[in-house]
Amino acid sequence: MFDPDRPYRCSPSVALRPEPFGALAYHFGTRRLSFLKSPVLVDLVTTLGDHPDVRAALEASPVPPDRHGAYLAALAGLADAGTIEPADHHAHSVGAAP
């Protein structure tokens, strides 16, 4: 489940292709194609890993506070699609019990 109080990053299995509307995101593992429908969302996704959590990334972005809810919803959808993942995802999965 998406938690904006955790650190996230763009999945290393995802390639972003810039487009005039934002970007196409292709996940090599699932072969799923997603559309990031604004350049601001693309910048947010690509800089998530530079911040201690999603909320800090939003605060550092040009997204107005009254639009944070909409961007959090978009990021939750991208997390469900595997486009973004918890930044500590690998650390938690290594050595985890089956």
pTM for the full predicted model: 0.85
Rounded CA-CA distance 42/35 in Å is 10
Question: Which two structure tokens, joined as six digits, stand for 92?
Answer: 């938690």
pLDDT tops 60 at residue 92: no
Q: What is the reported pLDDT for 88?
A: 79
Query: What is the number of other CB atoms lying within 10 angstroms of the CB of residue 55?
Result: 14
pLDDT tops 50 at residue 97: no
pLDDT tops 70 at residue 93: no
Q: What is the reported pLDDT for 89?
A: 59
> Using one digit for the tens of pLDDT, what is the confidence trace for 19-76?
999 999 999 999 999 999 999 999 999 999 999 999 999 999 999 999 999 999 999 9
Q: Inter-axis angle of helices 68-81 and 39-47, to 10 degrees?
A: 60
**Largest distance between two CA atoms of the chain:** 44
